[in-house]
Amino acid sequence: MAREMEFKMEIPYEDIVPGKEVTVDESYLQDGLVVYYTIRPAIAMSKNFRRQEALACRQGIVKEVRPDGVATYVTVEFNE
């Protein structure tokens, strides 16, 4: 089953294009109760999720890159 996640990229990175495989790092807040993800190497960041919503895998495929004002939003699909 596929899961899509959106990341916010504040500085354009020309290597992030649809079809590109990316790896994400997982980080925790609030004693491990909240998790967020960062596309390596610190290119874009996800919103915060509850630990129960954590990803099962760390590699995904970029589906969409959408400029929106001062930021760009990157949609990544993960196979879980």
User: Is domain 2-79 annotated with CATH 1.10.357?
Assistant: no
Domain boundaries along the sequence of the chain: 2-79
Q: What is the DSSP string of 14-31?
A: TT--TT-EEEEEEEEEGG
pTM of the model: 0.92
User: What local confidence, expressed as pLDDT, does residue 1 receive?
Assistant: 81
What is the pLDDT tens value at each position of the chain, 80 positions in all?
899 999 999 998 889 999 999 999 999 997 889 999 999 998 999 999 999 999 999 999 999 999 998 899 999 999 98
